[in-house]
Amino acid sequence: MSDTPASDPLAMLRSGRSLPDGTSMDDPIREQILDAASAQFESVGIARCTMNDITRRAGLARMTLYRRFANKQELVEATLLREAAWFLADLQREIDAHATVEDKLTEGFAFTVETLRDHDLLNRLLETEPEATVPHFTVQGAPLITAAAHFLAA
């Protein structure tokens, strides 16, 4: 898949934003923070979560967190983008396991429904913050739908 925004679903989901300069996707501390953020969001939702909650859960100092994420919004976006990347990688593996276009679409759709139905973080957000979550799948869902369409077209 190309790295151009028109063909990269994650680039489309980022709405043109990239990682800050000097940010490495292979940073184990960054991954530790994202793991803690994901667990905390699953536990209490995003709105009720604080940066202090995440540093405590990660076992890190606040300064370590703020060196990688300037604010909560940045951390939320990075966490959700990582979840999307994992989902898309798993979906690609599922699609690649089938030979025909019909099987790819059918099994890809079934995989998507099953995965999203059982996704702990998504279910927690739908439960605790439906007013903030549901619009991203409905009336504000254009970036998600466009990214999905480009992913499927590829």
The structure's pTM equals: 0.77
pLDDT at 98: 97
DSSP 3-state helix, strand, coil percentages of the chain (rounded to 5)? 70, 0, 30
Query: pLDDT at position 8, please?
Result: 47
**122 vs 153: which has the higher pLDDT:** 122
Q: What is the pLDDT of residues 68-116, one digit of tens each?
A: 999 999 999 899 888 888 888 899 999 999 999 999 999 999 999 999 9
pLDDT in tens, 56-65: 999 999 999 9
Distance between CA atoms of residues 19 and 50, nearest Å: 22
